[in-house]
Amino acid sequence: MSASERLPVIGLTTYLERAKTGVWDVPASFLPKVYFDAVEKAGGIAVLLPPQAVSDAIADRLLDSLDGLILTGGKDIEPSRYGQEAHPETDEPRPDRDAWEDTLLRRAIEREIPFLGICRGAQMLNVARGGTLHQHLPDVVGDRRYQAGEGVFNHVEVSVEQDSRLAGLLSDTIDVPVYHHQAIDTLGDGLVVTARTPDGTIEAVELDSVPFGVAVQWHPEESREDIRLFAGLIEAASKYRAQEQDSPNA
C-alpha cells in the first residue's frame, strides 16, 4: 500500500474521570463513541489520547505517529490559565487534562499538524493563544440557550464567514447542536472568528498560520449524517502525511 493510500491516523483527546462499570468504580479514560465513529466514517483511524504526564518531548514523540489531532469536549478549562478567578458555575479544575491538551496543541501548531477543536477544544485553542473565556454564558446572553442541561443538545443557527476554511466545508448558515455554558471572549493571537450566532456568540475560530487549524464551539459529532468537518480534517491529514513522506528528512 502506498503512502497516499494509507488511512490517516487521528488522535483524539479524552476524559479522565471516575467511572463505574460492573463491579469496578475507578478513574478511567473514556470518550463518547460518536467521536471516533465520525473519524472512521470520514476515512480515518481513531486513536485515543488520555491525559498523562507531558513535556514537549513526549508530545513530539506522540505526534510523530499521528497525521491529525482532535481536541474534544469536556470539563471547563482552569480559569487561572487565562488570568481569572473561578466563577461559581465553573467546573472543578482538571489540570492534568489542561496541561496535556495545551502541550499537544502547541506542538501540533509548531509542526503544522492538522487539528480540529470541538467545544472545549475551541476554548483550549483560544486560551493557548492567550485569549480569555466567558465563564458562564447565561450571564452574557440572559438564558441557557446554549446548554439546556441533562445531556440535551439545543440547536442554534450559526452564520459562517465567507472565504474561511469553514465556509469551504459547510454552508453559509447552518443549524448546529450545542452544549456549552462557556464561550470565547477576548480572541487569542492569530485566531480569526469564522462563525457566530445571531446574538454575537463566537461559535468557530481558525488559525490562519497553519494549513488546517479549525475549532468549533458546537458538537459536529452529534450530527451523525454530516461528517463534513471530519472529512475536511481527514483530507488535510492525508496531505500532511504525504508531505512528511516526501520530506528528505523522513
Residues noted as catalytic:
119, 219, 221
DSSP state of 3: G
**Residue among 118, 120, 198, 184 at smallest CA distance from 156:** 198
| Three-state SS at 149 | coil
Spatial distance between the Cα atoms of 10 and 63, rounded to a whole number of angstroms: 10
Q: How far apart are CA 123 and CA 216, in angstroms?
A: 9
- Can you tell me the distance from the alpha carbon of 104 to that of 160, in angstroms, rounded to the nearest whole number? 27
Beta bridge partners of 215: 117, 205
Please state the separation of Cα 156 from the chain's center in Å. Answer: 19
Q: What residues contact 115, with CB distance under 8 A and at least 6 apart?
A: 68, 69, 70, 71, 105, 108, 109, 210, 212, 213, 214, 215, 233
What's phi and psi for 152, nearest 5 deg? -95, 125
Q: What CA–CA distance (Å, rounded) separates 245 from 174?
A: 37
Grid coordinates 500532511 are at which residue?
Answer: 240
Cβ within 8 Å of residue 23, ≥6 positions away:
none
